[in-house]
Structure formats: structure tokens, C-alpha cells
């Protein structure tokens, strides 16, 4: 008899959704640092395609002349 166990491992989409539902923000770098995922925007696109409304905000950081290369 063959039985299949339901995996308790969360997908990246589930991890992102839980993170956002907790009221936290998530950038690409934070997703990589906290969860080791390099495909954060792809997972967010998948969540939006399922009808989940996710607000986004573009944050521009000023770069000082001392940090500029070239």
C-alpha cells in the first residue's frame, strides 16, 4: 500500500505571503538575507496572478559622491 505524506515544507510563495500578512515589508535583498530566495519578485507575481492584492513601493536611495564608482 502506497501512501503520500503531505509536505509541511512551505513554498517561497507561502513564506512571502505569511511575511506580508504579518504586516512586514520585504525587499529583494531582505528576501535573500532572511529566506535565501533569489526569486522574490517572481513569487510576488504568482501571488498577484492568484488574485492576492499586494501593495508595492519604490524606494530610491541617494548615492553620495564618495560611493560612486567610475
| pLDDT of 30 higher than 70 | yes
Question: What is the domain partition of the chain in residue ranges?
Answer: 10-49
Pairwise CA distance, residues 61 & 6, whole Å:
44
Burial of 21 (0-12, 13-18, 19+ CB in 10 A): exposed
CB 15 within 8 A of CB 28: no
Q: How much is the pTM?
A: 0.69
- What is the pLDDT at residue 53? 93
At 59, list the grid cell. 524606494
Mean pLDDT of 39-68: 81
Mean residue pLDDT of the chain comes to 82
Amino acid at each position: 500500500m502506497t501512501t503520500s505524506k503531505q509536505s509541511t515544507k512551505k513554498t517561497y510563495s507561502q513564506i512571502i505571503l505569511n511575511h506580508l500578512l504579518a504586516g512586514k515589508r520585504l525587499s529583494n535583498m531582505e528576501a535573500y538575507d532572511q529566506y535565501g530566495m533569489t526569486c522574490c519578485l517572481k513569487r510576488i507575481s504568482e501571488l498577484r496572478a492568484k488574485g492576492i492584492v499586494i501593495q508595492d513601493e519604490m524606494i530610491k536611495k541617494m548615492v553620495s559622491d564618495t560611493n560612486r564608482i567610475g
